Amino acid sequence: MSLAITDELPVVVEQTLTLLDRDHSILAFNERVLDWAYRPEVPLIERLRYLCIVSSNLDEFFEVRAAPHLAAAVAGDHKGNYTVASFERLAEAAHSLVARQYALYNDELIPAFAAHGIQIISHGERNPAQRKWVHEYFEREVRPLLIPVGLDPAHPFPQVANKSLNFIVRLSGKDAFGRENPIAIVKVPRVLPRVIRLPAKVSGGKTLFIALSSVVRAHLSSMFPGREVGEFSQFRVTRHSDLAVDEDEVRNLRTALRQGLQHRHYGQSVRLEVSASCAESLANFLLAQFDLPADALYRVHGPVNLARLTQLIDLLGEPQLRFPPYQASYPITLSPGQSFFDRLQRGDALIHQPFESFEGVLAFLREAVSDPQVLAIKQTIYRTGTDSALMDLLREAVRGGKEVTVVVELKARFDEEANINWAEMLESIGAQVVYGVVGLKTHAKMLLVTRREGKQMRRYGHLSTGNYNPRTAALYTDISHLTADPLLTADMEAVFVHLASQSRLPKLHRMWFAPFDLHKNLLARIEALGSAAEAGESTRIVAKMNALTDEALIAALVKAGQRGVKIDLIVRGACTLPAQVPGLTDNIRVRSVIGRFLEHSRVFYFRLGVDESLYLSSADWMNRNMLRRVELAWPVTDPVLRQRLIDECLVAYLHDGRDAWELGGDGVYHRLHEDTHAGEAGASRTIEAHGAQAALMGRYASRGLSRAATRD
């Protein structure tokens, strides 16, 4: 058997397994997210939210993934992984997805909102009172920030920022100097809200909004006195935005990244969006300005940036059009008010977020900061957000005289600026701030507390599959693991010392550490199970992750499956392993679960006979995670906690009959609906499908109520 990469669907030829294309797999993931926006049973505002999520995901896809395909198309390359053909196939898939988005927006969501008295009204739909209000708003809030640019040799095409809103206008007549300069550009500042709510006095009892693009469009003529506005269109350009810094060539990574951020908004153009009505001549003019081929042009029937409609969601109340609020329960293995140090001396604790509250993690750090016996706190920071209670606690710890060491990952994509700011703040008040290892992203999530207890020092640790971000902790499924295990916390200490000093890492007791041994240990574990299965022993692999693209791990899984190992993979996003291909991957099933929360936990389960092991991890099964990042995987050795993770993170998702999609042998994901089984008399009966997330929400809500009743 051999493995090859292609953009096509899997083709079986003489025992050769063709991997699925990663970029098309990412787009397929967004198709699954978009499905939630199509579901009539989903509350209306949430359907719009899923539509916005897909648009935001597509923006990032183009910013990060499109450039190599585009460069190959422009260069006329026909060999390699990136070619003219790969660009054309990717463009076709992306155009199809975008067309579905706007069709849903116009044909279903807009009418549904209107039925509830909620409308975004265009200039033609506004009555005189509404037009007067919009005009006054434009004169007061918008016009002072606009400077139209008429193009001529002295006024070349202006720099247009990544994903910004702009207008192109064709003018007739002559300018103030008697010259013909028929093209003008209007740049719309980011500081202006993209959606504005009309006041009640002009709304006629309805909930009415106006789009900023509509406000500008209605006043284009007033911006060019003495000229006649002809054809025009809104437009938006997406640019390649992956920061590239040669760490071997810079003396100060933080300074180099901050300088790089200044240029991110003006990188290589990769996509151009215009109104569907945009004249061919204007579209071609813009394509030429941005050096883009025709397939990079996206004509859209609506706002060029659907992602900014999240502002509409924020402006709406309408609780009946949203998901019922979910209140995360306090972690069941913890008790409010109880000392974490006393609790962890009796055994480990788990927090299953967001079903259980991230407040448990904050409470652990809060106690460490306030405890005079705590001498040192060490933590990794990947994404925390711009407003972080956790960072405030670290600042308080420094000011309280504790030794605080923070490993800040400056290259966390699209969080670089926030992380630089936090690093500078902590450094300015005396924290020890380090930036990990040159050439590697520090993606591991860990917090280590060292406490004096009598004559000895004792360590307490927190390890997580997710980030230290309270906002995303309420939206992403992740596992937090609190422990005082001497071997596990000794491993954490060794990793922190390694990251700070870059000295040789000693052999770890329990952890697997990337880039050194995580990859090879996973491969060895898969190989061992394959050998055991071939010898007739009962074996099982169940792995939950966000992406599976590493070729070596895929090859190992395929081989193990062919030797008899039963393998279930729960992969939220990109997966290049084609499952259920007859004769090649019959023993491998791949499913993706898309729900109310973003699946983010990484859980790896291995069983040989009656012996089972389970690892939590910060790493997906991608080459970058295994070889170009600092990542951790660690075992859960407590049998009760391990069984809980098996039940909640694996079994529940393998039995999800509502939100799960299964990857077929044709390379296409098929949504699993309610299963129909034959009854005793041959009649069919429908088994009510359940969603894993809904089941967990119900379970934890009832546990929270029962605990509250007990406390009362």
What's the CA gap between 145 and 134, in Å, rounded?
Answer: 16
Structure tokens, 516: 């050194």
Torsion of CA 76, 82, 86, 90, to 10 degrees: -120
Q: What is the 3-state secondary structure (H, E, C) of 551-598?
A: HHHHHHHHHHHHCCCEEEEEECCCECCCCCCCCCCCCEEEEEECCCCE
- Measured between alpha carbons, how far is 592 from 196 in angstroms, rounded to an integer? 37
DSSP characters over 162-193: TT-EEEEEEEES--TTS----EEEEEEPTTS-
**Both structure tokens of 456:** 């000895």
With beta carbons less than 8 A apart as the criterion, state whether 468 and 444 touch. no
| DSSP alpha helix (H) spans, 219-306 | 253-264, 280-289
Residue 497's Cβ-count burial label (10 Å; 0-12, 13-18, 19+) is: middle
Assess contact for 349 and 334: CB atoms under 8 A.
Answer: yes
The residue annotated as part of the active site, out of 443, 481, 498, 519, is 443
CB proximity list for 704: less than 8 A, separation 6 or greater: 327, 329, 330
Contact 307, 60 (CB under 8 A): no
Q: How many CA atoms lie within 13 A of 661 on its CB side?
A: 23
d(CA 591, CA 623) in angstroms, rounded, equals 21
Rg (CA), the chain: 28
Single-letter amino acid code for the residue at 111: P
Residue 443 catalytic?
yes
If 0-12 CB within 10 Å is exposed, 13-18 middle and 19+ buried, where does residue 427 land? middle
What is d(CA 548, CA 411) in angstroms, rounded to the nearest whole number?
22
Q: Which residues pair with 165 in a beta bridge?
A: 188
**Phi, psi (rounded to 5 degrees) for 278:** -60, 130
What is the spatial distance between Cα 494 and Cα 513, in angstroms, rounded to a whole number?
Answer: 11
Provide the token pair at 390: 């956790």
Q: How many whole angstroms separate alpha carbon 693 and alpha carbon 46?
A: 16
Distance CA 71, CA 56 (A): 23
Active site residues: 443
